[in-house]
């Protein structure tokens, strides 16, 4: 196992507290696991995240992807000196999901001085890939 990429030891309770009052809370996006080089979270498939056909809305997938990547990006930098903001996000929606939970896993593709690129894979409860997203983050000095 490689050494952790995080600036400080991850704290799930702190992350969950920061999600209060945000779109993450509204959609019930929950960070559930932090590994040495990944962050994982879930989002329910229900009326909050549906498109009119009763499947997960592509925009909801993008919110999950950007939420996971943004949290992860900000955990890599010194929060006293830097903050990370999304610059670009894209997503390929591969499989419709109509019930249960989807789980996204964010892993870094590039961790640079002024930018980061994250890949977020979203899977259904049967571990089938439903969406793959790439998120580019700007690293900005405070």
Given a cut of 50, whether residue 74 has pLDDT beyond it is yes
* pLDDT tens-digit map of 113-131: 999 999 999 999 999 999 9
Asked whether residue 73 is domain-assigned, the answer is yes
Asked whether residue 7 is domain-assigned, the answer is no
Asked about 119 being catalytic, the answer comes back as: no
Per the residue annotation, which of 13, 25, 33, 66 is the catalytic one?
A: 66
CATH number of the domain residue 37 falls in = 3.10.129.10
Tell me what pLDDT residue 10 has: 86
Reading the block at residue 82, the tokens are 């830097």
Asked whether residue 128 is domain-assigned, the answer is yes
Domain count, the chain: 1
Given a cut of 80, whether residue 1 has pLDDT beyond it is no
Reading the block at residue 137, the tokens are 């983050």
Rounded to an integer, the average pLDDT of 76-92 is 97
Rounded to an integer, the average pLDDT of 1-14 is 83
- 31 pairs with which residues across the strands? 41
Domain that holds residue 63: 12-141
* pLDDT tens-digit map of 24-62: 999 999 999 999 999 999 999 999 999 999 999 999 999
Asked whether residue 56 is domain-assigned, the answer is yes
Tell me what pLDDT residue 47 has: 96
Tell me what pLDDT residue 31 has: 96
Does 83 or 2 have the greater pLDDT score?
83
């Amino acid at each position: 196992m490689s050494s952790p990429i995080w600036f400080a030891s991850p704290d799930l309770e702190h992350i969950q507290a920061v999600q209060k009052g945000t779109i993450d809370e509204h959609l019930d996006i929950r960070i559930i696991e932090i590994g040495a080089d990944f962050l994982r979270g879930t989002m329910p498939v229900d009326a909050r995240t549906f498109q009119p056909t009763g499947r997960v809305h592509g925009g909801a997938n993008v919110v999950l992807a950007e939420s996971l990547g943004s949290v992860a990006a900000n955990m890599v930098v010194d929060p006293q000196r830097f903050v990370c903001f999304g610059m670009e996000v894209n997503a390929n929606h591969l499989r419709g999901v109509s019930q249960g939970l989807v789980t996204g896993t964010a892993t870094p593709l590039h961790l640079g001085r002024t930018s980061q690129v994250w890949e977020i894979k979203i899977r259904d409860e049967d571990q089938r890939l439903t969406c793959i997203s790439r998120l580019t983050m700007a690293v900005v000095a405070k």
